[in-house]
Structure 1
């Protein structure tokens, strides 16, 4: 009997010791994290769109006559002013043609003057006088045409802007009407973006838009100038355009811009720190939610809305009053024990 009592004490002692060691083991394996209780707050109805920059006016230029390019005055990226010479063709053929037309016009004028005197004296028929008049008119028109062709061997900028593209080099032989240069007026630029049809009712002509350009690390204020009338057949999105004043000429066509528009009304919602949201390999977003009773963190899928002041709006998957992990979540796995640090 005495032996059985001693054995029972040893078993009880061993069990207590084992539980104590397990508690310490759990505490030692818990991951330290920072947490935050989620609260409902006013969420501005902000629509964020991605867009691209283009010049307010963009023109393609080419020579009206064929020929060999003799000279190009500007390089890609250069600023040009209205009526500045861009390039010219080798003009010899057109100069000779113009001189020949001058000779023909002078000969036709002399012939008409001589026949006109005869006509006035009654020594020339009406028909011959008319033929001489038509010959003179034809010579004058040919002279104007050759003069225009010679003038068209020089290409001038039709507006002040920047040379975006040059598709020719000196020495090349080009055909009439071939687009060789692209110039854009960038004193004002246009941001083109696409907005889902469900958000279209938030946009009006003349509405202000906050525009961020990452390449310049700057923000600008623009104005909506155009709202598309027809949705894209695939995306069901509409085109909108916003105009920005480019006073310092820093904004260039092709840059990426972020457009933010204020909706018609604010609403209550949940905002969490952006760093608390984790994305898996399938680009699914999730947050670790804390079970305060068991001191464990569980992974939960969430649906994201807009980014507002470095916080992400949670559309679904999270409720006010719940506690989430805001730091240390990269070390967690689903259901792991945690310890909260201040």
Structure 2
């Protein structure tokens, strides 16, 4: 019986040298699978033919800003508009108590009537030779003074009501009902916001190429890169002593009131020559630890991305001009660029529509 057990053990040991043990060894020595490649989207650098342009940046301003004030003192009885409200030229904005002014006007009218009647009577006497010329002159002067007093009282009554001199938006309100208005102290600021103006500074090297009436393309970052077309309406004739630039104004339509005072905007004032510009989507630009602007470029042969330092120019809507660092046709990473590094192998697909 012991011989039988030893025989079975030998058979089992022999079996272990066969296929079962070989499979186990294969599992133990097989190399681990590599991590999946990072997926990115790419788009070629595009070249566009366009007219040359002078870049500039600045701040949006109201075309006109007017402070308005009462011309007479009085207690404010009505305020009919508020900050941010649209207002039309000639619309009432506030009023002060006009009770005393109305009484003054009534007294002036009564005095005028009396002086006019007296002048008629004295003229008749003068015609009959019963009145000295000096007395007639005094009566005439009194009647004329009464006319002036009526006109002044009428003006004071009109001045008790404050009207907007322009169409625009109420930018500031500094008075409430019940308060006392002082003559000449501004209580409202009215801003004309359509059109708007972009004030930029043009370097002396470029100002000679800028003319009133030139077209300008303006991009507003705060509005998602929205582009508008405007016209140059003013070119300064003296340079700012600090920046050595010439103030230039570009007028822009603003019917929907999307543009607001104080927004930053980028302008490109159209020139007269044709140039070829390279553009890529603005989102493709990334920055390294030092703040330098980079773009990842795909090497199609090796499926590897390389970081390229680029110099960017003016924005073009959602795209940006590339001044150096890329060539037309280079495949730049426009999706997944924040999850890759220089020299990484990737799985790239063309962005739809590129």
TM-score by length of 2: 0.70
User: CA, structure 1 residues 194+68, in 2 after alignment: closer, same or farther (shift >3 Å)?
Assistant: same
Q: What 5-or-longer segments of structure 1 have no aligned partner?
A: 1-23
- Equivalent residue for 2:196, pick from 179, 190, 193: 190
Deviation at 1:234, TM superposition (A): 1.9
**Partner secondary structure for residue 264 of structure 1:** strand
User: CA, structure 1 residues 243+287, in 2 after alignment: closer, same or farther (shift >3 Å)?
Assistant: closer
- Aligned ranges for residues 250-269 of structure 1 at < 5 Å? 250-251=257-258, 253-254=260-261, 256=263, 257-268=265-276
- Equivalent residue for 2:233, pick from 225, 246, 255: 225
Tell me what 2:147 maps to: 140
- Aligned ranges for residues 1-342 of structure 1 at < 5 Å? 41=47, 44=50, 45-186=52-193, 188-197=194-203, 198-213=205-220, 218-247=226-255, 249-251=256-258, 253-254=260-261, 256=263, 257-268=265-276, 271=279, 274-280=282-288, 283-286=291-294, 302-308=310-316, 310-316=318-324, 318=325, 320=327, 326=333, 338-339=344-345, 341-342=347-348
**Partner secondary structure for residue 273 of structure 2:** coil
**Partner secondary structure for residue 81 of structure 2:** coil
Deviation at 1:253, TM superposition (A): 4.2
Report Cα offsets for 1:24-75 as digits up to 9, x if no partner: 9xxx89x969798998955644444444444444432221211111111112
Contact 1:287 1:324 in 2 (8 A): no
Contact 1:85 1:155 in 2 (8 A): yes
Contact 1:46 1:306 in 2 (8 A): no
Between 251-260 and 131-140, the greater mean CA deviation after superposition: 251-260
**Partner secondary structure for residue 263 of structure 1:** strand
Between 117-126 and 252-261, the greater mean CA deviation after superposition: 252-261
Q: What 5-or-longer segments of structure 2 have no aligned partner?
A: 1-30, 349-354
Deviation at 1:142, TM superposition (A): 1.4
Take 1:98 and 1:58, find their aligned partners in 2: how far apart are those partners? 34
Report Cα offsets for 1:112-142 as digits up to 9, x if no partner: 3333333222232222221222122112211
Contact 2:219 2:317 in 1 (8 A): no
Contact 1:46 1:260 in 2 (8 A): yes
Take 1:39 and 1:144, find their aligned partners in 2: how far apart are those partners? 74
Count, aligned residues: 313
User: CA, structure 1 residues 274+223, in 2 after alignment: closer, same or farther (shift >3 Å)?
Assistant: closer
Take 1:86 and 1:330, find their aligned partners in 2: how far apart are those partners? 54
Deviation at 1:314, TM superposition (A): 4.1
Between 158-167 and 214-223, the greater mean CA deviation after superposition: 214-223
**Partner secondary structure for residue 186 of structure 2:** coil
Take 1:250 and 1:340, find their aligned partners in 2: how far apart are those partners? 45
**Partner secondary structure for residue 230 of structure 1:** strand
Between 97-106 and 318-327, the greater mean CA deviation after superposition: 318-327
Contact 1:213 1:255 in 2 (8 A): no
User: CA, structure 1 residues 56+314, in 2 after alignment: closer, same or farther (shift >3 Å)?
Assistant: closer
RMSD across aligned positions (CA): 4.1
